[in-house]
Chain A
Amino acid sequence: MLKTRVLMGSMTLALSFAAPLQADTLRLAIMGEPASLDPHKISGTWENDVVGDLFEGLVTEAADGSRIPGVAESWEISDDGTVYTFTLRSDAKWSDGEPVTADDFVFAFQRILDPATAANYAYLLYPIKNAEAAYAGEVETSELGVKAIDATTLQITLERSTPYFLDQLSHYTAYPLPRHIVEEYGNEWSGPDNMVSNGAFQLEDWQSQTRITATRNPNFHDADEVALDEIVYFPIEERNTALNRFRAGEIDIAREFPTQQYKWLQENLPEAVQVAPYLGIYYYAFNARDGHATADPRVREALSLAVRREVITDQILGTGEVPAYSFVPPNVSHYQAPSVDFADLSQDERLERARELLKEAGYGPDNPLELMLRYNTSEDHRKVAIAVAAMWKPLGIEVELYNAEVAVHYADIRQGDFDVARAGWIGDYNDAQNFLSLLESNVSNNYGAYSSPEFDALMSEAANTQDLDERAELMAEAETIALEDSATLPIYYYVSRNLVSPDLVGWETNIEDIHRSRWISFDR
């Protein structure tokens, strides 16, 4: 666009009646059809790609994923870390020219936490005072800790100090909504005919399952620095189709590509392949409920010892994944994950120790350990499961593999019907707490029902600690306990995989794999 603008500026008037210059249009393949464009009705990363271009929260993401002021120009945090007072920029406008006010935020927070909205991601806002109670229908949403002091001052009160709260405000659950439009059109407000947004782009058209078109929002406060004129999002579930369309030049960015093609891509399109560490862990959950062999920490440790992560990442998957020896992925902000103590042992040493542990636990040739390993349908999950079962074989373990589609898999493991189960977690926000909270007692995503009072106590202490270094230490201590207990079997850290046309500039890899189109331009 910069180039286009320069070009346009240098053209003489004689050309002004010629055919219009081709607008800079970014063609982006997203990995699925959005469930909605209403930020309160979505939960997928592909929806985030679109909605994050259309809206802007109090805080927003820079090209490298770091957080920068969005609608909020500045903010003050009370000494106890519970009261945030935001000053909104005076030039924040909706795409119809109306100002974005503090009241629009209050309205949006009240709406998403209203049980009637049935927003499935509302729980991300639970740090806000009374949010959980409001969503459970125990108090009115008007009692939420969010209030508009005046049109440009917003105050948010939290239940307790939450260091990652500012980061969370860039998530779509915390976007403002145009009260005047939502009240006028009800559920129809997010359709192309009605939608008004405050981001760098505005919705132009949505042809279901085909394409979503957004154009530059002239009312965006930073509109002059936005290079693209238009973005077309193509929902393409088939990764091979996205790759073929990328190769044919029909799209400029493909969010995800088929892993089997990684080698080919590295050789043939090295400039386009973008693989980077991603905020996610692929792990096996151990069932710690009574009656399961995996309730015994010695058994869990033996199982963990025998798994050769490097073989899985390098030889079985081979698409850049990183072997995992901790539960929290590396590069998480303000956190240094501990590692299991056997990470440096040789494989023989690990197996020897594993045998000892199993023997101690009462398993051996006379009483072989039998396990049920569940995984959800996917070629990669299948390969990993078979490999892990083979790695356990030298210990005399007999593994029965069960495969089910994703909904059944999670319904089954939720019932506790497994010994070992494939699971994964992609961080909702860049904080170790988001991962470690999965291992707290009585948390719904704690599939294996691991429970450690010491772990819970440390996590609770960390939650009440404002000093970031101290908090990180407490969480690392908690993670050390979980690792010593072999609460789960971490296998690898995810990577993000994108294909990005070399003609583009402003696209930077980052751990959350968030890329807002406002930073992207064509270098031509």
Chain B
Amino acid sequence: MLSYTLKRLLQAIPTLWIVITLSFFLMHLAPGGPFDGERQLPPEIEANMMAAYGLDKPVWEQYITYMGNLLQGDLGPSFKYKDFSVTELVVQGFPVSLELGLWAIGLALLVGIPMGVIAALKRNSSVDYLVMGTALAGVAIPNFVIAPLLALVFGVFLAWLPVGGWNNGHWSNMVLPVVALSIQQIAYIARMMRASMIEVLGSHFIRTARAKGLSESEVILRHALRPSMLPVISYLGPAIAGIITGSVVIEQIFGIPGIGRYFVQAALNRDYTLVMGTVVFYGALIVLLNLLVDLLYSALDPQIRYDND
């Protein structure tokens, strides 16, 4: 297991390097620069700004400087948020996005798994149709529709919860964004769980367990639940990464100081260093999460022997 983990980590380095290099050059190829906007700067001022950020040098030279700094852990200054370095912004924003994301995934598992199990057990009944219909709606309705609706109903009309703001992560500020973030995930997990459960319930070892005279609840809880959760587990890596990177809309709508907001804003502003900072960070995060999921997977399913790879 250890050698497998090390091997995977080493494999991640060239992957990350390719991602960083491609992003760096693509970003510089994109039309429009960090100082292009409604107000064109006088040429001498633009020249000053370009020099101040090292943008007056050839791109390859900028790339070498960037990689050199990156290896020393320096992500550079943000072009837009001038009082902060990119590292500071990432360090400030990530815990917020992570907290939000983990709560959302937790809620999605807590609600999605039982929904999927119930639908599988009551297959083709009205309960199944109701659960799956709800899940379908959850998948179909995008975040940017659900989030303002939740804010309007629970924040403005009922005044039960704050409409926005973070307030140092107070639970009341977290409820609506967590719910809004998790709805799609609940739907995915429920659908996945249902399909997987149906498959597992049809397999030989379940039939054997039933033949042994075990009660239905024992069959489900002791034998069927664990294997049917495998697809859900393998989905968790991309789901967590997706929920953290994809919380852009939610963070924007609820005014949450997470890293997601920087992701899009930086690209639009051509804030090169911040774009690269978020790319590096997300790249590393996705590699790491996928690795963690693989390890978790092997722990749940002893048939997978990574050591023999």
Contact = CB atoms under 8 A, between A and B. Distances in A.
Interface in A395-424: 404-412, 414, 423-424
B83 A120 contact: no
A424 B151 CA distance: 33
B7 interface: no
Interface string A411-449: 110100000000111000000000000000000110100
Interface in B22-44: 30-44
Interface in A364-385: none
Given A240-B148, A248-B163, A136 B44 contact: yes
B31 A408 contact: yes
A244 B45 contact: no
A205 to B, nearest CB: 12
Nearest to A209: B257
A289 B86 CA distance: 41
Given A248-B155, A411-B33, A238 B40 contact: no
B255 A238 contact: yes
A55 interface: no
A7 interface: no
B252 A238 contact: yes
A236 B38 contact: no
Contacts of B84: 208
Contact of A406 (B35, B38, B159): B38
Nearest to B249: A238
A208 B163 contact: no
A116 B261 contact: no
B261 A444 contact: no
Given A236-B164, A241-B163, A241-B164, A123 B31 contact: no
Nearest to B259: A209
A122 interface: yes
A411 B52 contact: no
A494 B263 CA distance: 31
Contacts of A36: 81-83
A41 interface: yes
B163 A407 contact: no
A122 B164 contact: no
Contacts of B36: 406-408, 410-411, 414
Contacts of A409: 32
Given A122-B45, A405-B268, A444-B41, A250 B162 contact: yes
A209 B38 contact: no
B37 A410 contact: yes
Interface string B73-100: 0000000111110000100110000000
Chain B interface size, as a band, is 35 or more
B33 A116 contact: no
Give chain B's interface secondary structure class. loop
Nearest to B43: A444
A120 B257 contact: no
A37 interface: yes
Contacts of A236: 164, 255
A248 B82 contact: no
A234 B42 contact: no
A182 to B, nearest CB: 14
Contacts of A187: 83
Contacts of B92: 208-209
B219 interface: no
A123 B45 contact: yes
Nearest to B159: A248
Contacts of A445: 39-40
B137 interface: no
B254 interface: yes
A250 to B, nearest CB: 6
Nearest to A41: B82
A162 interface: no
B166 interface: yes
A224 B41 CA distance: 41
B32 A250 contact: no
B18 interface: no
Nearest to B252: A238
Nearest to B79: A35
A208 B89 contact: yes
B37 A406 contact: yes
B156 interface: yes
Nearest to A237: B252
Given A115-B48, A234-B255, A245 B163 contact: yes
B40 A410 contact: yes
Contact of A412 (B31, B42, B93): B31
A39 to B, nearest CB: 12
B171 to A, nearest CB: 16
Contacts of B43: 444
A208 B32 CA distance: 27
Given A209-B261, A244-B155, A408 B165 contact: no
Interface string A34-51: 011110010100000000
A123 B32 contact: no
Contacts of A41: 82-83
Given A120-B49, A238-B252, A241-B253, A411 B83 contact: no
B269 interface: yes
Interface string A326-361: 000000000000000000000000000000000000
B270 interface: yes
Given A207-B257, A209-B261, A250-B165, A244 B37 contact: no
B80 A35 contact: yes
Contacts of B141: none
B32 A407 contact: yes
B167 to A, nearest CB: 8
A208 B38 contact: no
A404 B30 CA distance: 12
A177 to B, nearest CB: 15
Contact of A241 (B35, B151, B261): B151
Given A120-B35, A407-B36, A408-B31, 9 more contacts: A135-B45, A208-B89, A236-B164, A236-B255, A238-B253, A244-B152, A406-B268, A408-B30, A425-B38
12 contacts: A36-B81, A123-B41, A135-B48, A209-B257, A210-B166, A241-B254, A244-B163, A245-B255, A247-B156, A250-B164, A406-B268, A444-B40
Interface of A: 33, 35-38, 41, 43, 115-116, 118, 120, 122-123, 135-137, 187, 190-191, 207-211, 234-238, 240-241, 244-245, 247-248, 250, 404-412, 414, 423-425, 444-445, 447
For the complex of A and B, the 10 pairs showing the least CB-CB separation, nearest first, are A407-B32, A209-B257, A118-B52, A408-B32, A444-B40, A36-B82, A411-B32, A411-B36, A407-B36, A210-B257
